[in-house]
Amino acid sequence: MQISFEPVGILHSPYKQKFAIPRQPRLIPQARAWLALADHVNHPDTLRGIEDFSHLWLVFAFHETMEKGWSNLVRPPRLGGNAKKGVFATRATFRPNAIGMSAVELIGIKKKGNRWGLELAGIDLLDQTPILDIKPYLPYSDSIEQAAGGFADARPETEMTVEFSEQAQQFCLQQSQNYPQLMAFITQVLKQDPRPAYKKKREGEQTYGMSLYEFNIQWRVNAQHHFVEEIR
Ligand code: SAH
């Protein structure tokens, strides 16, 4: 059986590349995005009552990587990239059906021009991700207090500190009209340490770059410290 879906929306996210996206939703509350409804559902009736929910489930396609296939076993980053787990025992993006799901915060309904949409926060999705479905998050049923979390039982904690150069601070100040949360957002992204596991083990200073919104951010890492050198 083949099943095909037409996306109900496209997500407009500050994450322009996979690198630096947190591994799960809500780890970075400042990560805001706008979900634009597709033409066939672009009507306020499809959203009626949604503002009464604080959180939503997004079901989406891992569109950027879906062509790359999948394997039975994956190496979760959580386990330092060493141990292997079955694909269905992980939230890996490389799956037989490249479908992801994220519980995100609903800020509110937001229309731009004649396009209805939703303002969201705490997202872990790439820019332009096709959204297959939107459902309200139901705390009484979706939250299971005694659930066992396997190899990912607790929220990942990192001890990274973040410092901004004079240029980087000035840059964030200049953008504060359009992006009032920019500095807090960059800080949160770096605090969760986006580096791949094998690089975290490396000694000495390393230089990295990432794209958030239309900005390019360059930083240096030494031990547990990120120094944001330049933002362009
Ligand atoms: N919460 C989801 C996603 C977990 S994987 C789930 O459990 O199903 C999270 C990773 O997915 C992010 O680190 C990011 O690199 C990747 N990702 C997000 N959107 C993507 C997309 N559209 N295509 C491919 N990978 C994506």
Closest of 185, 186, 190 to residue 159, by C-alpha? 190
Structural domain spans, the chain: 9-142, 161-231
Distances 203 to 81, 158, 199, 224, 226 between C-alpha atoms, Å? 18, 17, 9, 11, 14
Q: Under DSSP, is residue 164 helix (H, G, I), strand (E, B) or coil? A: strand
Q: Cα(11)–Cα(125) distance, rounded to whole angstroms?
A: 8
Write out the DSSP string of 129-145: PEEEEEEE--HHHH--T
Ligand 1: residue whose CA is nearest its atom 15 = 18
- Look at residue 56 in the predicted model and tell me its pLDDT: 98
pLDDT, tens digit, for every residue of 151-201?
Answer: 999 888 888 999 999 999 999 999 999 999 999 999 999 998 888 877 877
- Look at residue 143 in the predicted model and tell me its pLDDT: 97
Distance from residue 111's CA to the centre of ligand 1 (Å): 26
Q: Which fold has domain 161-231?
A: YaeB-like fold (3.30.2310)
Give the percent of the chain with pLDDT over 90.
85
**Beta pairing partners, 37:** 9
- Look at residue 232 in the predicted model and tell me its pLDDT: 96
Q: Do domains 9-142 and 161-231 have the same CATH topology?
A: no
Q: Under DSSP, is residue 4 helix (H, G, I), strand (E, B) or coil? A: coil
Distance from residue 193's CA to the centre of ligand 1 (Å): 16
Is a pLDDT exceeding 80 seen at residue 29? yes
CATH architecture observed for domain 9-142 = Beta Barrel (2.40)
- Look at residue 59 in the predicted model and tell me its pLDDT: 98
Q: Of the spans 18-27, 63-72, 190-199, 202-211, which averages the highest pLDDT?
A: 63-72
Is a pLDDT exceeding 90 seen at residue 10? yes
Whole-prediction pTM: 0.95
pLDDT, tens digit, for every residue of 101-121?
Answer: 999 999 999 999 999 999 999
- Look at residue 211 in the predicted model and tell me its pLDDT: 95
Distance from residue 102's CA to the centre of ligand 1 (Å): 9
Residue of 81 and 33 predicted with greater confidence: 33
